[in-house]
Amino acid sequence: MFNLESVRVALNNLGRRKLRSFLTMLGMIFGVSAVISMLSIGAGAEDESLRTIASFGIRNIIINAKDFKTEELKQIRIDSLGLNMRDVEAIEAVLRPKPRVSAKRILKTWQVVSEKGRSDSRVLGVSSTYPEINNLRLLQGSFFLPFDNEGENQVCVLGITAKQKLFGFGDAVGQKVKINDQWFSVVGVLADATTGSKQEFEGVKIQNPNNDIYIPIYTCLKKFDVDELENQLNEVDVQVPEGADLKTQSASITSLLATMHRYIDDYSLVVPEKLLEQNQREQQIFDIVMGAIASISLLVGGIGIMNIMLASVLERTSEIGLRRAIGARKRDIRLQFIAEAVALSLVGGLIGIGLGWGIAKLVAAFSGWSTIITIESVTLSFGVSTMVGLVFGIYPAVQASNLDPIECLRYE
């Protein structure tokens, strides 16, 4: 009965001093809200990174041709032909287990038109394996097939934005598109591809495929001129099969290309899985630093609770003596003050969760950042705030319970 009475007295006392109780809770409120908002921003950034890596392909190795000035290229071409279809054929022939490989060339265009519209779309010559490697889905029709590539057929596949610019909301499959001075038949339209809001990830530029037009790589190389100094290809995508070691395959590709290019450093390798690992390490450091900063607020809030509770012990010395005189035990007094401290933390934690949720939503609305509030972040911040109240409330509670009842009754 005395235990229940102690809790009731504690809550009544907090209710009588509403302003002081609220000011005492501010440290906990700001601490919990900081933890919630920081962790939600971190979780949102991690989620966006995962979606970005998914657009690269987690099992992919990307080989990019490097850009050089004309004079440098003349020297490089003496020994290396640059990134070209021979590299694609060599990778397919040498690597085991055999990977899925796609070439890519960015075509220089001066017009992309249809009978119904005009577009500024990027035109890419790619292999028929390109959509599987890069996780692209079809909305209408199909992607061009290997025989379209081998036969140098003049067919194309449109990204959803390119389709709308050229044909509006009408059917595009079977229609004609003129790229420079060549006509192509549309065989498919890609579904909307979400790559997140990032334009660059760990130094690698991200291109949204929605405004792209895809034509067979051999058609691209045959129908459109390639300058002798240019790289025949801008990029080669290699998808490593499940079960194959990504690190080993990457080393094999590096060794093979070094031989093919006579050890000229005119290309670079990007391994999305390694980019993800690097990003996650940076994200962990960010979370630790932000968590530490937010924890300082919780610590300050805990010190504030202890300070007020010690002051409360002095203010209520007579009350403590009276309760002891009518039969309250030391543990009842301890429970009363611990209950006050924990109640301050609990209420402050609840308000802090609401404030943290609001801050996270405001950040998402005004900055465009992705934020995700997880159950783990709410549980962690709320649990820590409760523990802080308990820990910082114990000392004042012990001090109160150890007061001599007679001296308390004499206290003025």
Ordered by start, the domain boundaries in the chain are 2-53+277-410, 60-271
DSSP element (H, E) containing 263: none
116 token code pair: 């119904």
pTM of the model: 0.64
Closest among 9, 21, 37, 8 to 287, alpha carbons compared = 37
Residue type, 233: L
For the chain, helix, strand, coil in percent to 5 are 60, 15, 30
Structure tokens at 254: 């590096």
CB atoms within 10 A of CB 182: 13
- 199 secondary structure, DSSP code: S
Question: Tens place of pLDDT for every residue, the chain, 412 residues?
Answer: 345 665 666 667 666 777 777 877 787 788 788 888 877 877 777 677 666 666 666 778 889 888 888 888 888 888 888 899 999 999 988 888 888 999 999 999 999 999 888 989 999 999 999 998 888 889 999 999 999 988 999 999 999 999 999 998 888 999 999 999 999 999 999 998 765 545 554 455 567 788 999 999 999 999 898 787 888 899 999 988 887 887 888 888 989 999 988 888 888 888 766 666 666 666 677 767 766 776 777 777 778 777 777 777 776 667 777 777 777 777 777 777 787 778 888 888 888 888 888 888 887 777 666 777 778 778 877 777 778 777 877 777 777 777 666 666 665 5
Residues near 314 by beta carbon (within 8 Å), at least 6 away in sequence: none
- On the question of a cis peptide bond just before residue 396, with omega within 30 degrees of 0, the verdict is no
Determine how many CB atoms are found less than 10 A away from the CB of residue 380. Answer: 16
- CA–CA distance, 353 with 25 (Å, rounded to integer): 13
